[in-house]
């Protein structure tokens, strides 16, 4: 038995692998960028009330910026492309159209390389637009051509930005290197802009909650740098005030919870920016506890929202630019490990730093992340909430199905070819032919909305204000709500099982041992219940493997009609909202459950029927 | 008792006829097809003949060649070739009977001829300049000044179109007829037998045209997955070894996904079109068929006739498709009517959820969708429900009969 089980479990591995592959393929089939789609069609992000930064963070969260199956990016040389991108970013926006025209008319090697880079950006209809608006034949006096050129320039700068964003970490070392060698300010400007696009959150200014010790060096470094830059301006602090600050900090630390702490911070203790030096000193000092450090960082961030400057524009002075470059150097130093992985790591990333690998990792660890809806609820929480709603309903209806259909099948078989059998078979057949959702609508029509029989509620699981009812009344209300959905889920699915048990029973009743039992003089009751039914139940048990998935998966249409927030409804809603993480989790969980229940029913089969051994089954398989 | 000269199919046919319900259900399916084909003859708001100040126009006929839904075009072509085919069939039938051809064969040939003619018409009129120009695209014949004695038309028995919106009769109950003071169209004299929907469209007409959609989805989707399933299953069963292992794994993986869930997801992602629905049902349905066929082919391939054919020098392709498959096909054929029934259920369900064909295409499920949330319009629920129920029942009955007829254990 154990070897059979082991074999089956091993066979599950390739199947599981296939399941992840199919789910991945399904998700890839969806057109476009899920995040953009989810927030209402492709358009500029500004319209969607979401910052580009938040969008990028979410995109990286879902690993959508990674290649599908094979990550060669760590082995590619990006120098050329980053330099090109930086060149385009270094051109002031209003001069870009002019530069494009110049580029189109020049024929030196450098310009050709620039054009090649532009072509690779996948700008829609690039070649025709390029010919028409920037090419030598373009008539610059025509306003339409000028408008087209402006649009093209906009598209170029947008696509260069997207290029940098997609390149992400891979471009940073190259950009830093180029920055060290850069000669003119325009090149520097371009590189700094490119860096800004590549790195979403360059610095960590505060600790995560709860604080982790490994974060300390990075946070400290940032604030130390800020203090260095601003020390002269802010001046020293007198010792008296220092003592006050020390006391207040202790008071804050001892605050019982976050709310009181924030109240104190916002209303009681008002600091001045010039006093921040004290907190920096506390933060970087070695004897400070982690809690205190976290608090200091929080206060610092509260009073200095933007400590380190990372953006530059054409109006920046050389000193400013120098400062920003220094800031980026600091960033590069702090995160060097991330940017220059060892060869072994790069080889590992070849297969593991891909969309597919990340998805498999998430699925195998059952860490499904957060929904892409605005609420950003954790997926597992959503699924659990839905499961709790639909599971009792589905379980109840599955139990009812078995309780009704097996006796009906047995009665049909025992009374084979009598009017009982014919009538029951006909009824079963009719039930079999009515789709559950059609029945659901008709039931809703007659018993909820009808003029005569307003017997049942029109949807949902509880009446309004059901929470205030007593326990008994609450459950009575619940029962009243689930009558119709359960009826739909039960009546119109039991026919298949009933017919199946009828056939199975008929087969058993034709066996010799039944004749023997009858010949022995056993009563009809005993023959049917003890000899026939137990054998007839064996094949019915295999159908058990359909039950668990049904309980888990809920019923999309019935839950839709009756407005029940269960698994089926969740499925429907996540498809409608293109909520990938939720959907992926649903697909995966469903598949796993089906797989496991097939295995379970196979095992049950052997346990129930002594004639079948695991040996014979593994030979058959 | 069976005659030794009987072919397998004549035995099956005799068994099938013994099952009266199935037999009658099979006959009852013909009206379904006829309604699908003749939908424009039964219901259309385009006049057959239109008299306009001394001019005779034939808008109905031209309209046959210009439809919004591809399935409509296909059925219209079937309608166009119907009369020529009927004539040819009568003549050929007489001729072949004189030559002594037996009945099933004649029937098969004549039906094949119809399919070929329809297909030819589709190709001819869809992609060549022979297609009559869409001259009256802009004109709404019913709403042209219908009291003008110099303008009149001859209309179909039910003079309403499936997608023409009438903004004066939203959600009217069955047998509703506009009061004469509101008459602005030539067809306003006629009652809406089964009421109207949210666009003022006649429910009966939409049901009639919905038959086309339902049958198309059923037949094409099932045809698709039968083909895939049979080929894949036969390859796995016949060649065994690594091919079998690979295909079996694939089947297992596909079977692990709940079908409706997968269909819903794919259709939700790929978009709403009748093609996509058919293809998606097709690609999710094949594993069951493939598994059945694989088992059957495995059984057949160790039989002596296979060895005999191979030893005579027949290639694997020939042996598989000419000798083995015809003997292994019956489980797939039994699954077909049930598959059609469930495809129709799935299509209507998708439309009910809003993932079906794009409105205003007339689908039974789309009517149900309109009624969900507006339960006072009972006619939008009851009639489409009946349509789905009867169609599904007919296909299930035929499937039942076929299964019993093909099952040798039940043969008497």
Contact check, Cβ <8 Å, A587/B388: no
What's the order of all strands across the beta sheet hosting B55-57?
B55-57, B49-52, B151-154
Q: Determine the structural domain holding residue B313 and report its residue range.
A: 203-410
Pick the closest to residue B320 from B298, B342, B335, B345 (CA basis). B298
How does pLDDT run across A275-330, given as a tens digit for each residue? 777 788 777 777 777 778 888 888 888 787 777 777 777 777 778 888 888 888 88
* B270, B368, B396: residue with CB nearest A29: B270
* B265, B354, B371: residue with CB nearest A26: B265
Residue A195: predicted pLDDT: 83
Q: How far is CA A73 from CA A158, A169, A340, A360, B243, in A?
A: 22, 10, 12, 20, 35
Contact check, Cβ <8 Å, B266/A29: yes
Minimal Cα–Cα distance from A246 to chain B, Å?
Answer: 59
Domain holding B263: CATH number? 1.10.3720.10
How does pLDDT run across A74-107, given as a tens digit for each residue? 777 888 888 888 888 888 878 888 888 888 888 7
Rounded mean pLDDT of A192-202?
82
> B333 touching A, CB under 8 A?
no
Indicate whether B212 belongs to any domain: yes
Confidence of residue A618 (pLDDT cuts 50, 70, 90): low
Angle between helices B330-353 and A436-447 (to 10 degrees): 40
CA distance B225 to B280: 10
Q: How far is CA A399 from CA A141, A394, A404, A486, A491, in A?
A: 79, 9, 9, 11, 12
Residue B220: predicted pLDDT: 94
Confidence of residue A431 (pLDDT cuts 50, 70, 90): very high
Contact A543, A498 (CB under 8 A): no
Pick the closest to residue A508 from A466, A479, A471, A537 (CA basis). A537
Contact check, Cβ <8 Å, A575/B265: yes
How does pLDDT run across B29-70, given as a tens digit for each residue? 999 999 999 999 999 988 898 888 888 888 898 888 888 888
Residue A591: predicted pLDDT: 86
Indicate whether B78 belongs to any domain: no
How does pLDDT run across A364-420, given as a tens digit for each residue? 888 887 777 777 788 889 999 999 999 999 999 999 999 999 999 999 999 988 999
Residue B294: predicted pLDDT: 92
Conformation bin of residue A429: beta by default, left when phi > 0, alpha when psi is -120 to 50? alpha
Nearest-by-CA chain B residue for A447: B375
How does pLDDT run across A554-596, given as a tens digit for each residue? 789 999 999 999 999 999 998 888 788 888 888 888 888 888 8
Q: Which segments of chain B have a pLDDT < 50?
A: 1-2, 412
Minimal Cα–Cα distance from B159 to chain A, Å?
Answer: 29
Contact check, Cβ <8 Å, A22/B257: yes
Pick the closest to residue B210 from B27, B22, B386 (CA basis). B386
Indicate whether B64 belongs to any domain: no
> B380 touching A, CB under 8 A?
no
User: Interface of chain A against chain B, CB under 8 Å?
Assistant: 14-15, 18-19, 21-22, 26, 29-31, 429-430, 432-435, 437-438, 441-442, 444-445, 448-449, 458, 549, 553, 556-557, 560-561, 571-572, 575-576, 578, 583, 586-587, 590-591, 594-595, 598
Confidence of residue A36 (pLDDT cuts 50, 70, 90): low
A198 φ/ψ angles, rounded to the nearest 5 degrees:
-70, -40
Indicate whether B339 belongs to any domain: yes
* A18, A557, A576: residue with CB nearest B250: A18
Q: Compute the C-alpha angle B122/B124/B130, nearest 5°.
A: 125
Q: Can you list the domains of chain A with their CATH numbers?
A: 35-203+349-365 (no CATH), 213-307 (no CATH), 379-433+494-620 (1.10.3720.10)
CA distance A321 to A353: 34
**Res A49 pLDDT > 70:** no
What is the residue-wise DSSP string for A523-587? -HHHIIIIIIHHHHHHHHHHGGGGHHHHHHH--HHHHHHHT--SHHHHHHHHHHTT-HHHHHHHH
Contact check, Cβ <8 Å, A572/B262: no
Contact B151, B51 (CB under 8 A): yes
Give every CB contact of residue A350 below 8 A, 6+ residues apart in sequence. A70, A71, A72, A74, A75
How does pLDDT run across A129-181, given as a tens digit for each residue? 888 887 777 777 788 888 888 888 888 888 888 888 888 788 888 888 888 88
With the CA atoms of A502, A503, A505 and A507 taken in that order, what torsion angle do they form, in degrees rounded to the nearest 10? Answer: 160
A231 φ/ψ angles, rounded to the nearest 5 degrees:
-55, -50
Indicate whether B304 belongs to any domain: yes
Minimal Cα–Cα distance from A617 to chain B, Å?
Answer: 16
* B252, B271, B388: residue with CB nearest A438: B388
A610 φ/ψ angles, rounded to the nearest 5 degrees:
-65, -15
Contact check, Cβ <8 Å, B378/A30: no
Indicate whether B125 belongs to any domain: no
CA distance A90 to A327: 19
Number of domains in chain B: 1
* ipTM score above 0.85: yes
Environment class of B231 (CB within 10 Å of its CB; exposed 0-12, middle 13-18, buried 19+): middle
Residue to test with chain B: of A38, A363, A433, A593, most B Cβ within 10 A: A433
Residue A621: predicted pLDDT: 44
> B375 touching A, CB under 8 A?
yes
Contact check, Cβ <8 Å, B349/A434: no
* % of chain A surpassing 90 pLDDT: 11
* % of chain A surpassing 70 pLDDT: 95
* A21, A30, A557: residue with CB nearest B353: A557
Indicate whether B137 belongs to any domain: no
Residue A38: predicted pLDDT: 43
What is the residue-wise DSSP string for A271-295? --GGGHHHHHHHHH-TTS-HHHHHH
Indicate whether B95 belongs to any domain: no
CA distance B128 to B124: 6
Residue to test with chain B: of A37, A434, A437, most B Cβ within 10 A: A437
């Amino acid at each position: 038995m154990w070897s059979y089980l082991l074999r089956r479990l091993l066979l599950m591995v390739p199947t599981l692998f296939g399941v992840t592959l199919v789910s991945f393929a399904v998700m890839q089939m969806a057109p476009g960028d899920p995040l953009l789609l989810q927030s209402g069609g492709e358009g500029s992000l500004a319209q969607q009330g979401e910052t580009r930064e938040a969008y990028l963070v979410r995109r990286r969260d879902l690993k959508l910026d990674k290649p599908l199956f094979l990550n060669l990016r760590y082995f590619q040389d990006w120098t050329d492309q980053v330099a090109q991108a930086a060149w385009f970013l270094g051109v002031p926006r209003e001069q870009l159209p002019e530069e494009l025209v110049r580029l189109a008319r020049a024929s030196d090697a450098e310009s050709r390389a620039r054009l090649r880079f532009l072509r690779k950006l996948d700008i829609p209809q690039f070649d025709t637009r390029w010919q028409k608006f920037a090419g030598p034949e373009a008539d610059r006096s025509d306003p339409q051509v000028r408008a087209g050129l402006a649009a093209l320039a906009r598209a170029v700068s947008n696509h260069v930005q997207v290029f940098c964003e997609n390149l992400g970490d891979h471009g940073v070392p190259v950009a830093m290197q180029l920055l060290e060698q850069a000669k003119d300010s325009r090149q520097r400007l371009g590189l700094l802009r490119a860096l800004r696009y590549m790195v979403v959150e360059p610095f960590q200014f505060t600790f995560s909650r709860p604080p982790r010790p490994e974060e300390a060096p990075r946070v400290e470094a940032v604030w130390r740098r800020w203090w260095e830059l601003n020390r002269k301006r802010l001046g020293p602090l007198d010792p008296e005030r220092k003592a006050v600050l020390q006391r207040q900090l202790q008071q804050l630390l001892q605050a019982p919870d976050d709310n009181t702490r924030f109240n104190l911070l916002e209303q009681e203790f008002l600091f001045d920016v010039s006093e921040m030096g004290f907190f920096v000193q506390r933060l970087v000092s070695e004897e400070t506890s982690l809690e205190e450090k976290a608090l200091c960082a929080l206060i610092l961030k509260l009073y200095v929202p933007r400590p380190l400057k990372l953006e530059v524009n054409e109006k920046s002075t050389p000193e400013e630019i120098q400062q920003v470059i220094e800031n980026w150097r600091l960033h590069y130093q702090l995160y060097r490990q991330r940017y220059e992985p060892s060869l072994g790591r790069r080889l590992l990333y070849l297969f593991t730093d891909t969309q597919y690998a990340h998805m498999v990792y998430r699925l195998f660890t059952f860490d499904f992340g957060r929904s892409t809806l605005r609420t950003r609820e954790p997926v597992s929480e959503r699924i659990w909430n839905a499961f709790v709603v639909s599971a009792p309903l589905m379980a109840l209806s599955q139990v009812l199905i078995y309780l009704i259909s097996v006796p009906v099948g047995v009665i049909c078989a025992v009374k084979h070819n009598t009017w009982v059998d014919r009538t029951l078979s006909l009824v079963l057949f009719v039930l079999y032919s009515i789709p559950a959702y059609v029945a659901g609508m008709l039931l809703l029509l007659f018993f909820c909305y009808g003029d005569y029989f307003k017997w049942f509620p029109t949807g949902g699981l509880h009446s309004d204000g059901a929470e205030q009812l007593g326990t008994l009344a609450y459950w009575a209300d619940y029962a009243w709500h689930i009558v119709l959905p359960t009826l739909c889920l039960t009546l119109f699915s039991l026919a298949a099982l009933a017919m199946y048990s009828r056939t199975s029973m008929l087969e058993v009743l034709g066996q010799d041992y039944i004749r023997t039992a009858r010949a022995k003089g056993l009563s009809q009751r005993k023959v049917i219940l003890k000899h026939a039914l137990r054998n007839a139940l064996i094949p019915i048990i295999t159908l058990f493997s359909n039950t668990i998935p049904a309980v888990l998966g809920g019923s999309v249409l019935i839950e839709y009609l009756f407005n029940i927030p269960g698994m089926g409804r969740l499925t429907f809603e996540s498809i409608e909202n293109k909520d990938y993480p939720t959907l992926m989790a649903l697909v995966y969980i469903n598949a796993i459950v089906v797989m496991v229940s097939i295995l379970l029913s196979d095992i049950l089969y052997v346990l129930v029927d002594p004639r079948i051994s695991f040996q014979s089954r593994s030979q058959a398989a | 008792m069976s005659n030794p000269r009987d072919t397998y199919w004549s035995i099956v046919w005799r068994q099938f006829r013994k099952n009266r319900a199935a037999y009658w259900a099979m006959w009852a399916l013909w009206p379904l097809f006829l309604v699908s084909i003749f939908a424009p003859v039964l219901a259309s708001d385009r006049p057959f003949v239109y008299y306009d100040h001394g001019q005779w126009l034939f808008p109905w006929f031209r309209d046959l060649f210009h439809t919004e839904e591809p399935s409509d075009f296909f059925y219209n072509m079937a309608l166009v070739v119907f009369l020529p085919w009927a004539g040819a069939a009568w003549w050929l039938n007489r001729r072949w009977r004189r030559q002594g051809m037996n009945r099933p064969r004649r029937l098969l040939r004549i039906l094949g001829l119809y399919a070929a003619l329809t297909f030819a018409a589709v190709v001819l009129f869809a992609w060549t300049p022979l297609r009559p120009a869409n001259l009256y695209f802009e004109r709404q014949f019913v709403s042209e000044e219908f009291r003008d004695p110099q303008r009149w038309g001859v209309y179909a028995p039910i003079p309403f179109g499936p997608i023409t919106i009438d903004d004066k009769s939203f959600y009217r109950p069955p047998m509703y007829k506009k009061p004469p003071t509101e008459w602005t169209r030539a067809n306003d004299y006629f009652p809406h037998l089964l009421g109207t929907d949210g666009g003022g469209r006649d429910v009966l007409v939409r049901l009639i045209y919905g038959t086309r959609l339902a049958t198309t989805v059923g037949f094409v989707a099932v045809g698709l997955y039968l083909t895939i399933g049979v080929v894949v299953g036969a390859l796995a069963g016949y060649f065994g070894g690594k091919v079998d292992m690979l295909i079996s794994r694939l089947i297992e993986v596909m079977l692990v996904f709940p079908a409706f869930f997968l269909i819903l997801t794919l259709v939700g992602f790929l978009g709403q079109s009748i093609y996509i629905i058919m293809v998606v049902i097709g690609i999710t349905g094949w594993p069951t068929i493939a598994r059945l066929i694989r088992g059957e082919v495995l059984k057949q391939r160790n039989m002596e006739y296979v060895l005999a054919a191979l030893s005579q020098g027949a290639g694997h392709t020939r042996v598989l498709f000419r000798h083995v498959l015809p003997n292994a096909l019956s489980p797939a054929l039994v699954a077909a009517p049930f598959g059609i029934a469930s495809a129709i259920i799935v299509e209507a369900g998708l439309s009910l959820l809003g993932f079906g064909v794009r409105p205003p295409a007339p689908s039974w499920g789309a009517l149900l969708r309109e009624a969900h949330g507006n339960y006072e319009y009972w006619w939008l629920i009851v009639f489409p429900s009946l349509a789905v129920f009867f169609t599904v029942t007919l296909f299930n009955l035929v499937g039942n009969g076929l299964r019993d007829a093909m099952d040798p254990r039940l043969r008497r």
